[in-house]
Amino acid sequence: MIGTGLRAFFALAIAIGFGFVGPAQAGATFDKVKQAGTLVCGVNPGLAGFGQPDNQGNYKGLDIDVCKAIAAALFGDPGKVKYVPLTAQQRFTALQSGEIDILSRNTTWTLQRDTELGLNFGPVVYYDGQGFIAPKKLNVKSAKELNGATICVQPGTTTELNLADYFRANKMTFKPLVIEKLDEVVAAYFSGRCDVYTTDRSGLASTRIARAQNPDDHVILPEVISKEPLAPVVRQGDDQWNDVVRWVVYALIEAEEVGITAKNIDEKLKSEDPGIKRMLGVTPGTGKSLGLDDKWAYNAIKAVGNYGEIFERHVGKDSPLKLDRGINALWTQGGLMYAVPIR
């Protein structure tokens, strides 16, 4: 009941929103942020690994580190971020209305959002995708064998639609067991009320680690039935601001590729590699083009580490989620993370 009300209201809010999303003045956001001295960053109220307050109330996570890196690049201080927790319904209006400067909240990049909502997406920071988890004893090797299966799914998100699309495209049938609350849908799966549970693969992995009596008794099927590229988002109309976000993320990815970490970055300042010298500002130039200090990339990497470090710390092997790098590995290791040249 609440869900449909919210959705109708959201649609209305967006419709009205169009009128207000004209092309903003060039540089408006960039200047505003520089002047304010704080980055206002829209984040998830609580999603393990991506954005979540710890016991002391400090936000931690992969999306959070993107905000910290940008603040470090702008001000030389990763602490100059104001986090605004946003629900899924609020997030785009908060960005459109100028309440936040950047949205770093596990948001999927789609055509409709990029165009109709008047937004611009930065580089993808996590490639997610919807998958299935099944008990090993079912002996299912592929999602193609799931014809007639009972499938646990949460309503209201694209997850439910992707599921229906996939089964229709493969001419299979399924019985959906639709449960609103994450806790209950997971409990339903583990108690055997459904054969398979579907959600984003990062969610499946964390559920398997944290809730399964024995994680090895469950397999995540190889099929990825949707593409969920998660990226930071800014308003359209301020290209300079968009550039800052874009290049800070690229610097984090590039740093991993050339082996710069938060720890060894000061040694790397002495490196003879012209690429590293350019990126870290030893050879000046890149900062001026972005309207930042030449130390922008140095400050960002020093604050949060390179992309690989961020990944392992929050969602990878050093975190409770224990996700594999998978397609989020560098392009040199068969993944999709590829930074365009910083020069």
Partner 1 sequence: MADIEHELGRELPVPAARPRPRTHGPIGWLRANLFSSLFNTFLTLIALCLLAVTIPPIIRWGLVDAVWSAPDGLACRGADGQEAGACWAFVGDKLRFILFGRFPYDEQWRPLLVVAIFVGLIVASCDRRLWGRRLVGLWLAGFVAVGVLMWGGVLGLTYVDTSLWSGLPLTLILAVVGMLFAFPLGILLALGRRSELPAVRAVCVAYIELVRGVPLITVLFMASVMLPLFLPSGLTIDKLLRAQVAFILFAAAYLAEVVRGGLQAIPQGQIEAADALGLGYWRRTRLIVLPQALAMVIPPLVNTFIGTFKDTSLVIIIGLFDLLGTVNAALADANWQGFYVEAYVFAAAIYFGFCFFMSRYSLMLEREFNQSRQH
Residues lying near partner 1 in the complex (CB under 8 A): 2, 5-6, 9-10, 12-13, 16-17, 20, 24, 32, 45-49, 52-59, 82-87, 89-90, 93-94, 96-99, 183, 186, 206-207, 209-214, 319-321
Neighbouring C-beta atoms of residue 52, cutoff 10 Å? 19
CA 143 to each of CA 16, 228, 236, 256: distance values in angstroms, whole numbers, following the listed order: 41, 18, 39, 34
Q: What is the DSSP string of 66-88?
A: HHHHHHHHHHS-TT-EEEEE--T
Query: Shortest gap between Cβ of 175 and partner 1 (angstroms)?
Result: 25
Q: Give the C-alpha separation, 232 to 186, whole Å.
A: 28
Query: Shortest gap between Cβ of 49 and partner 1 (angstroms)?
Result: 6
The residue among 204 and 297 lying less far from partner 1, judged by its C-beta, is 204
Q: Are strands 233-235 and 119-121 parallel, antiparallel or unpaired?
A: antiparallel
The residue among 57 and 341 lying less far from partner 1, judged by its C-beta, is 57
On the 0-12 / 13-18 / 19+ scale of CB atoms within 10 A, 90 is middle
Query: Shortest gap between Cβ of 41 and partner 1 (angstroms)?
Result: 11
Query: Shortest gap between Cβ of 39 and partner 1 (angstroms)?
Result: 13
The residue among 20 and 331 lying less far from partner 1, judged by its C-beta, is 20
Largest CA distance in the chain: 63
Query: Shortest gap between Cβ of 92 and partner 1 (angstroms)?
Result: 9
The residue among 65 and 257 lying less far from partner 1, judged by its C-beta, is 65
Q: What is the DSSP string of 26-40?
A: TTHHHHHHHHHTSEE
The residue among 17 and 229 lying less far from partner 1, judged by its C-beta, is 17
Would you state the structure tokens that stand for residue 132, as one six-digit string? 């299935």
The residue among 119 and 282 lying less far from partner 1, judged by its C-beta, is 119
What residue has token string 């590729």? Answer: 257
Q: Which three-class secondary structure state does DSSP give residue 16? A: helix
On the 0-12 / 13-18 / 19+ scale of CB atoms within 10 A, 203 is buried
Query: Shortest gap between Cβ of 187 and partner 1 (angstroms)?
Result: 8
Contact 297, 339 (CB under 8 A): no
Kindly report the length of the chain. 343
The residue among 67 and 260 lying less far from partner 1, judged by its C-beta, is 67
Query: Shortest gap between Cβ of 278 and partner 1 (angstroms)?
Result: 35
